Amino acid sequence: MKAERKNLLQRFLVWREKNIKEKHFILILSFLVGIFTALAALILKVLIHWIKDFLTENFDTTAANYLYLVYPVVGIFLAGLFVRYVVKDDISHGVTRILYAISRRQGRIKRHNTWSSIIASSITIGFGGSVGAEAPIVLTGSAIGSNLGSIFKMEHRTLMLLVGCGAAGAIAGIFKAPIAGLVFTLEVLMIDLTMSSLLPLLISAVTAATVSYVMTGQEALFQFHLDQPFELNRIPYVIMLGIFCGLVSLYFTRTLNSVEGLFGRLHTPYKRLAVGGATLSILIFLFPPLYGEGYETIELLLNGTTNAEWDTVMNNSFFYGHGDLLLVYLMLIILFKVFASIATNGGGGCGGIFAPSLYLGCIAGFVFSHFSNEFDVTAYLSEKDFALMGMAGVMSGVMHAPLTGVFLIAELTGGYDLFLPLMIVSVSSYLTIIVFEPHSIYSMRLAKKGELLTHHKDKAVLTLMKVENVVEKDFAIVHPEMDLGEMVRAISKSKRNVFPVTDEEGKLLGIVLLDDIRNIMFRQELYHRFTVNKFMTSAPGRLYDTDSMEQVMRTFDDTKAWNLPVVDQEGKYLGFVSKSKIFNSYREVLVRFSDE
């Protein structure tokens, strides 16, 4: 049966090559990717809402509910078991894994990612995990694109494009936001915008959004009605809100990285579950709005108009009925949301920071405007308008993607009348955080390792190159106890002018340069008087097999050498890298990278 399917596929591939042009087939694949990613997004959202409604529909709104202490632990425990024993692979940091696939795996994402993130994140979030479903569905969509391209034997440039199509379709499908899906792919995943890539990305995004509209209706994800038009005298407050959102984004990013490192030191999954589960349960018990994605809170702040309506955010908690503590309550949520998100993923759950960014931004905008209105500023600041702008601000800051923040919030809410202030707050937030953090929360992990592909062509090409592909091993190895006569015999059999010197364990001790011994190599009376140990020299520098190509080029620039030895972490000699080999490889990769 398997052989028959393989033969059928092979016949189809032959037929396709004869009858359908490559560029037309890519458009067909992008259309299919859009359909499949939209369906995946719909399945994920339905699962999350079904689990949450089943667990919490009978909760008492006027008092604390102690099941909040149980559900989150059960959720991340079940998700952790699923990942550890069924998937048997790390599926966290969804967008970071996509960036890695683009940068280092030539667009190849493992097949299980087409379904594993859906199951793990629906369990995590449905049981209260304080994370978002967007990063898992973006990874799912990208995996669908990558694997669909692999099935039809597409080359790696096309695979990378289909990964972008999957991401664009996922964002468009889950948010009903086709423009945001396209812009997200260009800004965050850094897919180059060319005429050959724009049309497939558009097709995937529009197709996914259309499927989502057909399945769930034409309403925007969040209902928002502009009560009064935006006035220019509020621009200074919008700029201040952008700066505030940039600082909130910085706090979120820095804290996330620091506390993630602490969870990384807990080497057993049960320790991580205990710490993460306890932290998450206590936080949700004290602050029920931290349960799940938090979209109900966003809906409330975007549509509420009175203190009585806003006070309902404190339902199900000890704070119920204490409307005078609303601002304090919301500021504490801003402070603790990042810990709830880290505890969810660190404890074994699966989710992203897309929804937490929207959530934090909405609360930050509301708190900023409500606090300002308490002090009777000259212009009344509409809480719902500023909550909307805050969503764009924090998202722009956390993801370093101001265009994505603007278009996503406009499409999410239909708030196109606020396009100018959305742009102002997004740019202000981005300019604030870029002073402190050069990379987004998604890309900084890869940037630290030198594995991030960027729009900078030279850096992108160097990222695609690997040290092991440019190492040359045809150098004659000599040892320190060898005499000059043995050295001359080694020279006669080699075509190189450099000779690595190693000990018995293969560790590099130094090098011998032909120019250094040219004046004595023909004096036979010295053949037994001198040993390699006498005339070897230290290498001008060493390269390690774990170095990125950017580090390699910096070492060449620092040493001014033409050849440098490569060693492993224990110092064992592996070969040499030459500038000429790097330049030749660079040209080959550049041709493949730019051949569009």
pLDDT at 400 over 80: yes
Angle, helix 195-216 to helix 178-187, in steps of 10 degrees: 140
The pLDDT of 107-111, averaged and rounded, is 80
Q: Provide the pLDDT for residue 594.
A: 47
What's the mean per-residue pLDDT of the chain?
A: 83
Q: Provide the pLDDT for residue 240.
A: 95
Q: Provide the pLDDT for residue 451.
A: 44
Highest mean pLDDT pick, 216-225, 237-246, 290-299, 444-453: 237-246
- Quote the tokens at residue 10: 């092979």
- Quote the tokens at residue 72: 């989150």
Are both 2-216 and 232-459 of the same fold?
Answer: yes
Residue for token digits 């966003």?
298
- Out of 103-112, 264-273, 306-315, 507-516, least confident range: 103-112
Neighbours of 467 (CB within 10 A): 20
Q: Provide the pLDDT for residue 202.
A: 93
pLDDT at 595 over 50: no
> Any idea which architecture 465-594 has in CATH?
Roll (3.10)
CA dist 127 to 75, 347, 453, Å?
5, 13, 36
Express each pLDDT in 408-447 by its tens digit: 888 888 767 888 999 999 999 999 999 998 877 776 655 4
Express each pLDDT in 312-355 by its tens digit: 888 777 777 777 788 899 999 999 999 999 999 888 888 888 88
Q: Provide the pLDDT for residue 426.
A: 95
Residue 584: what residue type? N
The pLDDT of 460-481, averaged and rounded, is 73
Counting every residue written for the chain, the total comes to 596
The Cα 338–Cα 356 span in angstroms is: 8
- Reduced to 3 states (helix: H, G, I; strand: E, B; else coil), residue 471 is coil
The pLDDT of 250-278, averaged and rounded, is 87
Q: Provide the pLDDT for residue 157.
A: 77
- Out of 237-241, 348-352, 360-364, least confident range: 348-352
Express each pLDDT in 541-593 by its tens digit: 888 888 777 777 788 788 888 888 888 888 899 888 887 777 666 555 544 54
Q: Percent of the chain, pLDDT > 70? A: 87
Per-residue pLDDT band at 461 (split at 50, 70, 90): very low
The Cα 401–Cα 440 span in angstroms is: 8
Q: Where are the domains of the chain?
A: 2-216, 232-459, 465-594
pLDDT at 102 over 70: no
The Cα 3–Cα 191 span in angstroms is: 36
Q: Provide the pLDDT for residue 417.
A: 81
Neighbours of 153 (CB within 10 A): 12
- Domain covering 232-459 in this structure, CATH number: 1.10.3080.10
Per-residue pLDDT band at 374 (split at 50, 70, 90): confident
Q: Provide the pLDDT for residue 41.
A: 93
pLDDT at 3 over 70: no
Residue 530: what residue type? F
Q: Provide the pLDDT for residue 36.
A: 95
How is domain 2-216 classified at the CATH fold level? Clc chloride channel (1.10.3080)
